[in-house]
């Protein structure tokens, strides 16, 4: 079995290097992608090259990336402690081990990231950091209150989030976002948020409601088209360029012996299916640069030796494999 898996990984490595050369030679853009693995390293892919930022202890990995000029910022964690690196140098480490980031944004000289802290192993406390200073967001009812993304516009800090009401049966999710710490409810339909973007003063939030993909614009719910109304489908990220709204997502289809997860994105509501392969292609988010659409995620793959993940992204529907194993958790293009 080990020989079979080794052969499969060798094939993926050849495909990986082939894709890297094609992508690097045909594009004038620089693509940065965080690759998560099981090697306790914080690392990212830059136009075909893997760059290791930090080698740490247990549960070390990168999670989010932001690039400003020549400076590369990555947030991640080591032993469940949130950390942030700039060009390979650690610039922040959280005070405790029960925290996890949910987004990263750099504006001028300020580094922001959103996250959640597990208090008393009973409920989650949301917060955001600005240059290492922590700003807690209120959780007076001590429910599961989570952040899911962050965006900074004109000096205002926006965070997407949702609250899971634990003392109701069945439990209910309430979607909203914060602007400078003030909560803004996203209507009355229960749901969860997955990302946030601000464009020309309009606030866009991706998420899902009733196990279907949606996004909110200034609080108004917009439902996205699905291929089968009986299947679960989720939006995983949102990006706006020149007024055009792009949303990433994936659809779940189960059979008696496996789960099929198919990646997709929507452009102003128009559905584009990225792959119909009978495998598990998850999306984690979307980035758009000069009209080019990047959707990133991973394939949950089975071999005779067991299951493993393959990090990848799709550029304008063309698949690019980043490494033999891992997950692409974030991507940035400039």
Tens of pLDDT, residues 176-224: 999 999 999 999 999 999 999 999 999 999 999 999 999 999 999 999 9
- Neighbour count for residue 229 (Cβ, 10 Å): 8
What confidence tens digit (pLDDT) does each residue in 106-165 have?
A: 999 999 999 988 766 666 789 999 998 989 887 666 668 899 999 999 999 999 999 988
CA–CA distance, 283 with 246 (Å, rounded to integer): 13
Residues facing 255 on adjacent strands: 258
CA–CA distance, 221 with 207 (Å, rounded to integer): 10
Range 243-260 average pLDDT: 85
CA atoms within 13 A on the CB side of 186: 32
* Structural domains of the chain sorted by starting position, each given as residue range(s) with its CATH number in brackets: 2-333 (2.120.10.70)
């Amino acid at each position: 079995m080990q020989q079979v898996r080794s052969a499969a990984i060798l094939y993926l490595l050849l495909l990986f290097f082939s894709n890297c050369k094609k992508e690097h030679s045909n594009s004038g853009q620089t693509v940065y992608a965080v690759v998560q693995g099981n090697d306790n390293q914080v690392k990212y892919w830059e136009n075909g090259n893997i760059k290791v930022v930090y080698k740490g202890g247990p549960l070390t990995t990168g999670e989010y990336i932001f690039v400003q000029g020549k400076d590369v910022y990555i947030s991640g964690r080591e032993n469940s402690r949130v950390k942030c690196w700039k060009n390979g140098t650690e610039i922040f480490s959280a005070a405790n081990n029960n925290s996890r980031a949910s987004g990263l944004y750099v504006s001028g000289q300020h580094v922001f990231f959103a996250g959640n802290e597990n208090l008393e192993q009973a409920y989650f406390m949301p917060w955001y950091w600005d240059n290492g200073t922590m700003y807690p967001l209120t959780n007076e009812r001590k429910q599961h209150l989570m952040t899911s993304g962050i965006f900074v516009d004109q000096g205002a800090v926006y965070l997407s989030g949702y609250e899971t009401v634990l003392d109701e049966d069945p439990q209910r999710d309430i979607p909203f976002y914060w602007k400078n710490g003030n909560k803004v409810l996203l209507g009355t339909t229960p749901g969860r948020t997955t990302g946030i973007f601000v464009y020309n003063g309009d606030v866009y939030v991706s998420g899902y409601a009733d196990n279907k993909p949606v996004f909110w614009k200034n609080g108004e719910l917009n439902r996205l088209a699905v291929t089968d109304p009986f299947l679960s489908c989720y939006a995983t990220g949102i990006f706006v360029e020149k007024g055009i709204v792009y949303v990433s997502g994936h659809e779940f289809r189960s059979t008696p012996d496996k789960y099929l997860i198919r990646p997709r994105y929507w452009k102003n509501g128009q559905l584009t299916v990225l792959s119909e392969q009978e495998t598990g292609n998850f999306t984690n988010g979307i980035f758009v640069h000069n009209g080019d659409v990047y959707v990133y995620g991973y394939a949950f793959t089975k071999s005779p030796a067991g299951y493993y993940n393959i990090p990848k992204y799709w550029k304008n529907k063309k698949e690019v494999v980043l490494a033999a194993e891992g997950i692409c958790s974030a991507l940035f293009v400039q």
